[in-house]
């Protein structure tokens, strides 16, 4: 019974794949497909590591003869969620606790937003860009990736990107 279900899933993916290919070709733009074997052959021939970004370069017949990776900094995107989705908090006996409002926004910011803070004076003086951890007091923490700055006033922060459930970082290619 499970074997039939798996085959049904494969059939659905194949139908969708061929319909997508047909639709893309109808645009008149050049469209190319490739196989996993061809991708691996191209990646091995070019002596590239097995990563998503190198696989994207090596798909199909139009793979270049040489790939220049010096100075390449791919954008790495990782899912991180939107926070706690628990509907009810229970006490040690398993009974629901009194409902606490979960306010996620403070002074127009939400924990996880990417901000730029221009701090004029004090021990954190300077310009800092990173993820913010908000507090209802208005004193935020900012994680820049290399360090964590504490007690930054919300007045110094400017929103660059709203928290959307993903972490973004630039990677350096090691080849």
pLDDT tens string 63-110 = 899 988 888 888 888 888 776 666 677 888 888 876 555 567 889 998
Strand partners for 96: 90
Q: Is the pLDDT of residue 18 over 60?
A: yes
Write the pLDDT tens digit of every residue in 122-149: 888 999 999 998 988 999 999 988 889 9
Q: Is the pLDDT of residue 41 over 90?
A: yes
Residue 97: φ, ψ to 5° = -80, 165
Number of H helices, E strands in the chain: 3, 9
In b/e form, how buried is each residue of 121-141, taking b as 16+ CB within 10 angstroms? eeebeeebebbbbbeeeeebb
Between these two residues, 47 and 168, which has the higher pLDDT value? 47
Can you give the pLDDT at residue 2?
Answer: 59
Domain limits, the chain: 2-71, 72-175
Can you give the pLDDT at residue 101?
Answer: 57
Can you give the pLDDT at residue 174?
Answer: 62
In contact, 112 and 161? CB cutoff 8 Å: no
- Look at residues 116, 103, 114, 111 and name the one whose alpha carbon lies nearest to residue 82: 111
Q: What is the pTM of this model?
A: 0.55
CA distance 62 to 159: 41
Can you give the pLDDT at residue 37?
Answer: 94
């Amino acid at each position: 019974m499970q074997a039939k279900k798996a085959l049904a899933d494969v059939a659905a993916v194949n139908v969708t794949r061929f319909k997508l290919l047909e639709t893309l070709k109808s645009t008149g733009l050049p469209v190319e497909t490739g196989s996993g074997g061809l991708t691996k052959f191209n990646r091995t021939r070019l002596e590239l590591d097995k990563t998503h970004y190198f696989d994207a370069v090596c798909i199909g017949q139009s793979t270049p003869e040489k790939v220049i990776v010096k100075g390449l900094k791919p954008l790495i995107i990782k899912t991180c969620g939107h926070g706690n989705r628990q509907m009810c908090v229970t006490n040690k006996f398993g009974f629901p606790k009194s409902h606490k409002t979960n306010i996620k926004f403070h002074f127009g910011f939400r924990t996880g937003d990417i901000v730029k803070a221009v701090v004029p004076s004090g021990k954190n003086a300077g310009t800092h860009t990173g993820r913010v951890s908000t507090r209802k007091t208005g004193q935020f923490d900012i994680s820049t990736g290399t360090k964590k700055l504490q007690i930054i006033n919300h007045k110094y922060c400017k929103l660059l990107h709203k928290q959307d459930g993903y972490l973004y970082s630039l990677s350096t290619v090691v080849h």
